[in-house]
């Protein structure tokens, strides 16, 4: 049997690979970057654990899958500006990526980008940017709409055109570690500035004793997206008494997908997904709504659909 190709090695693609492997279905995963994880990136530095992408998640999400990944007890509480009941990963969200990737035995091709998809005689053909051409029995596209758009230009132009219109919001994510005495309790920002949200934690798994970690999402004009300028703005607005002892700034020009916030999103996206040829399934927040736990269930659901498709073929 030709294998299933998964495009994208973020959370959705890895969850799909995990599920295919569990079902005994051969797969190859193609990831354009050197590392797996997509928008998830965590770093341990000077006793702090810093997340450059996804950081805090609703506690009420379905986290039951963590136990099977050996991550029971990995979630710690986080305080949030909107008083939501949030949790974060003790060792950074990257621990979820590592736990998913570790048992995978299928081929993972790094630093290779899929540029187009074709279909011939019930098989799929994938053209890569480096000129390589791969055959596949079925395809899971676990790459965001802004990248997936060009893959479909030939095989489903109408779908491609709609994905090309997909909009995103910019966000800068600033992680600042303060000495406890330097950060007001609780930290409060005036609401006239460009702070989309902020979260903080003093959990000993992520913060050294006597310190707290502040994680701020900012929507500011690009000229201000410079580490010193942003730190100064945050420091002044929050009335911190001293400089942060650690800092990490991540700039995401196309971070937040806008369409999932529209009331009509689900119906519109379902109509779009119905245009896809059988054997091609999309996974990821651009198609199925936001949330980290949902990315795992979405990746698994994509793999289950592909398994059903393969079973249904003569």
Residues that bind ligand FAD (CB under 6 A): 7-13, 30-33, 38-40, 53-57, 113-114, 142-144, 147, 252, 255, 284-285, 290-292, 295
**CA gap 258, 252 in Å, rounded:** 14
CA distances from 165 to 68, 101, 106 (A): 38, 32, 34
Minimal distance in Å, beta carbon 230 to ligand FAD? 15
Cβ closest to ligand FAD, residue 32 vs residue 281: 32
Minimal distance in Å, beta carbon 169 to ligand FAD? 10
H-helix or E-strand spanning residue 16: helix 11-22
CA distances from 39 to 168, 252, 293, 305 (A): 14, 9, 14, 25
Cβ closest to ligand FAD, residue 114 vs residue 280: 114
Cβ closest to ligand FAD, residue 122 vs residue 247: 247
Classify residue 203 by its DSSP letter. -
**CA gap 256, 233 in Å, rounded:** 23
Minimal distance in Å, beta carbon 209 to ligand FAD? 26
Cβ closest to ligand FAD, residue 133 vs residue 290: 290
Cβ closest to ligand FAD, residue 245 vs residue 304: 304
Helix and strand element counts for the chain (H, E): 9, 17
Cβ closest to ligand FAD, residue 11 vs residue 121: 11
Minimal distance in Å, beta carbon 268 to ligand FAD? 19
Distance from the Cα of residue 178 to its chain's centroid: 27
Minimal distance in Å, beta carbon 311 to ligand FAD? 25
Minimal distance in Å, beta carbon 124 to ligand FAD? 14
Q: Are 295 and 12 in contact (CB under 8 A)?
A: yes
Left if phi > 0, otherwise alpha if psi is -120 to 50, otherwise beta: which for 145? alpha
Minimal distance in Å, beta carbon 56 to ligand FAD? 5
Cβ closest to ligand FAD, residue 56 vs residue 233: 56
Strand 4-7 versus strand 57-58 pairing type: unpaired
HSE toward the beta carbon, residue 127, CA cutoff 13 A: 13
């Amino acid at each position: 049997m030709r294998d299933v190709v998964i495009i994208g090695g973020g959370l959705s693609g890895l969850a799909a690979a995990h599920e295919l492997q569990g079902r005994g279905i051969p797969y190859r995963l193609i990831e354009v970057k050197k590392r797996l994880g997509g928008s998830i990136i965590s770093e341990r530095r000077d006793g702090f654990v810093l997340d450059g992408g996804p950081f805090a998640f609703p506690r009420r999400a379905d986290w039951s899958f963590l136990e099977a990944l050996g991550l029971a007890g990995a979630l710690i509480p986080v305080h949030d500006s909107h008083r939501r009941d949030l949790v974060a990963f003790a060792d950074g969200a990257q621990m979820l990526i590592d736990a998913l990737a570790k048992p995978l035995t299928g081929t993972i091709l790094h630093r290779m980008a899929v540029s187009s998809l074709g279909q011939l005689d019930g098989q799929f053909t994938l053209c890569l940017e480096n000129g390589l051409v791969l055959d596949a029995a079925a395809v899971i596209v676990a790459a965001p709409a802004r990248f997936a758009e060009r893959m479909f230009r030939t095989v489903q132009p109408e779908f491609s055109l709609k994905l090309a219109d997909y909009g995103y919001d910019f966000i800068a994510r600033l992680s600042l570690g303060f000495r406890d005495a330097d950060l007001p309790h609780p930290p409060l920002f005036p609401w006239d500035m460009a702070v989309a949200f902020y979260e903080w934690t003093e959990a000993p798994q992520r913060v050294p004793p006597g310190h707290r970690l502040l994680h701020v999402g900012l929507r500011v004009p690009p000229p201000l997206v410079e580490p010193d300028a942003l730190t100064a703005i945050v420091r002044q607005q929050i009335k911190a008494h001293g400089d942060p002892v650690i800092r990490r700034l991540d700039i995401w020009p196309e971070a937040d997908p806008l369409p999932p916030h529209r009331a009509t999103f689900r119906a519109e996206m379902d109509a779009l997904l119905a245009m896809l040829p059988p054997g091609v399934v999309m996974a990821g927040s651009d198609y199925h709504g936001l949330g980290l736990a949902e990315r795992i269930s979405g990746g698994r659901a994509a793999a289950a659909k592909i398994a059903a498709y393969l079973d249904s073929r003569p």
